[in-house]
Amino acid sequence: MTHVLIVGAGPTGLTLAVELARRGVDLRIVDKFPQPPTGVRGKGLQPRTLEVFDDLGVIDQVLATGAEYPNVRAYKGEEVVWEGRLDELREPSETMPYPNLFMQPQWRTEKILRDRLAELGHQVEFGAGVIDVEQDADGVTATLEGGERVRSAYLVGCDGGRSTVRKRLGIGFAGETFDSERVMLADIRTKDLDRDYWHVWGTMAQHAVYVTICPLPHTDVFQIIAPGEGDLTALVAEHAPHVHIDEILWRSEYRVNVRMAERFRVGRIFLAGDAVHVHSPAGGQGLNTGVQDAYNLGWKLAIGTEALLETYEDERMAVAEHVLGLSSRLHRERRTRLSDDTNQLDLAYRGSALSVGERGGERLGTYFAEQRGTGFLLLSDTAADHGFKQLPPLDGQQGVILVRPDGYIGYHGEESGLSAYLSGFGIAAPLSDAAR
């Protein structure tokens, strides 16, 4: 029996697979597509996601092959009417090692994670979609296309907004589909635009965008985003007559959806990423929230106690609800300028059963190098040896602080209460710090 079957090999499923593989958890990861998708859907990696990728051991590849977002050049026809940034570039700091939104085409993010997974001894099984799931007290049985039946202790559906796993569980997916708000995406080649700028045609006064053409880093490809539907070439010719599209490599159309699942877990089956929350594209939250789902769930599945697994739905549902509200508000306001409310650094798990004490649930925000790996971190200069990696307390810290493997503070309080906290969640011994 496989311990964890992951359904879906997008950024969410791959993050979870890497997180489990480096902990030595037996897993399979399957995907319905016959080969990795090539089109660029999401491309923005938020600062918190970059911290996760640092911990997973892929940050060097991400930074080497991506880029910070370029300056915007706005036009009226062929005339440049404005140049500037949609955000303020910041220098790295002790509490914010990756302070800026980073551009990385989704296909390349997925390739980097697949390569890391291969280093850890696992491969994605493409062309292996799940068509049915059943569970009992002892495990889950998934039926794959072709008839193979896979038995696992747990199953995680990371299979997108049209999730088969979610539908087979009968979980509602409440929200709105805005049929009148359609968006065209395409990857193109053109020789007529400077690759140092994100090119935009629209009206600043009305916050209306007709078409944007953005260079994708370390490629000869641009991504077009345009509201509406129809002939993309004609749309570009109408608003940017000096731009000729030499080749359309990939294109897609989608309707704006804002939805969240009523449950993130049923028994031994969990849901993550777009399978439980789909967003407006405003603010670049969707892909990043899915990565955080996987990062939250991975270490809990590795320990595997029911008390820990119960906290996944509680913690991530609250975050998803907040982020959906944020992206929807940005969409309504047609806000183009980026701000701190989208970087996901301030998201926390306050109020969770797993968060105890004054700072319980907060992102630690320091000791990033020391947090790399799979273990807990104890901040104290007086605590007895609990078997965790131990570092000096923070300035002004009262009591002890135990940092979860995902970088959030679990326990903050007197040392006398730490053992009861650990035993209450079945954390009998620390996870190994060896894996990176």
12 phi and psi angles, rounded to 5 deg: -65, -55
Q: Give SS3 for 127.
A: coil
Average pLDDT along the chain:
91
Q: Is the pLDDT of residue 300 over 90?
A: yes
Q: How far apart are CA 75 and CA 78, in angstroms?
A: 6
Chain segment 158-176, per-residue pLDDT in tens: 999 999 999 999 999 988 8
Chain segment 71-109, per-residue pLDDT in tens: 999 999 999 999 999 888 999 999 999 999 999 999 999
Superfamily per CATH, domain 177-256: D-Amino Acid Oxidase, subunit A, domain 2 (3.30.9.10)
- Which residues in 374-383 are b (16+ Cβ under 10 Å) and which e? bbbbbbbeeb
Q: Is the pLDDT of residue 431 over 60?
A: no
Contact 249, 187 (CB under 8 A): yes
pTM of the model: 0.94
Q: Where are the domains of the chain?
A: 2-69+97-176+257-342, 177-256, 348-436
Residues with Cβ within 8 Å of residue 197, at least 6 apart in sequence: 70, 71, 72, 73, 83, 215
Closest residue by Cα to residue 120 from 35, 27, 188: 27
Q: What is the CATH number of domain 348-436?
A: 3.40.30
The answer to whether domain 2-69+97-176+257-342 and domain 177-256 are alike in fold is no
* Sheet hosting strand 247-261, strand order edge to edge: 79-84, 71-76, 197-203, 208-215, 222-227, 173-189, 247-261, 277-278
Please give the structure tokens belonging to residue 30.
């399957």
Kindly report the CA angle at 139 between 132 and 169, in degrees rounded to 5? 40
Q: How far apart are CA 240 and CA 285, in angstroms?
A: 29
What pLDDT score does 382 carry? Answer: 78
Closest residue by Cα to residue 186 from 240, 101, 247, 110: 247
Q: Long-range contacts made by residues 174-179, C-beta under 8 angstroms, separation at least 24?
A: 174/259, 174/260, 174/261, 174/262, 175/257, 175/258, 175/259, 175/260, 175/278, 175/324, 176/257, 176/258, 176/259, 177/255, 177/256, 177/257, 177/259, 178/255, 178/256, 178/257, 178/258, 179/255
pLDDT band (50, 70, 90) for residue 386: confident
pLDDT band (50, 70, 90) for residue 341: low
Q: Which residue has the higher pLDDT, 254 or 51?
A: 51
Pairing type for strands 124-126 and 27-31 reads parallel
Q: How far apart are CA 394 and CA 401, in angstroms?
A: 9
What pLDDT score does 436 carry? Answer: 40
Q: Is the pLDDT of residue 296 over 70?
A: yes
Chain segment 21-80, per-residue pLDDT in tens: 999 999 999 999 999 988 877 899 999 999 999 999 999 999 999 999 999 999 999 999
What pLDDT score does 91 carry? Answer: 96
pLDDT band (50, 70, 90) for residue 323: confident
Length of the chain: 436
Residues with Cβ within 8 Å of residue 405, at least 6 apart in sequence: 299, 374, 375, 376, 431
What pLDDT score does 429 carry? Answer: 53
> Given 3.40.920.10, 3.50.50.60, 3.40.50.300, 3.40.50.2300, which CATH number is that of 2-69+97-176+257-342?
3.50.50.60
Give percent helix, percent strand, percent coil of the chain, each to the nearest 5.
30, 30, 40
Please give the structure tokens belonging to residue 82.
């404005």
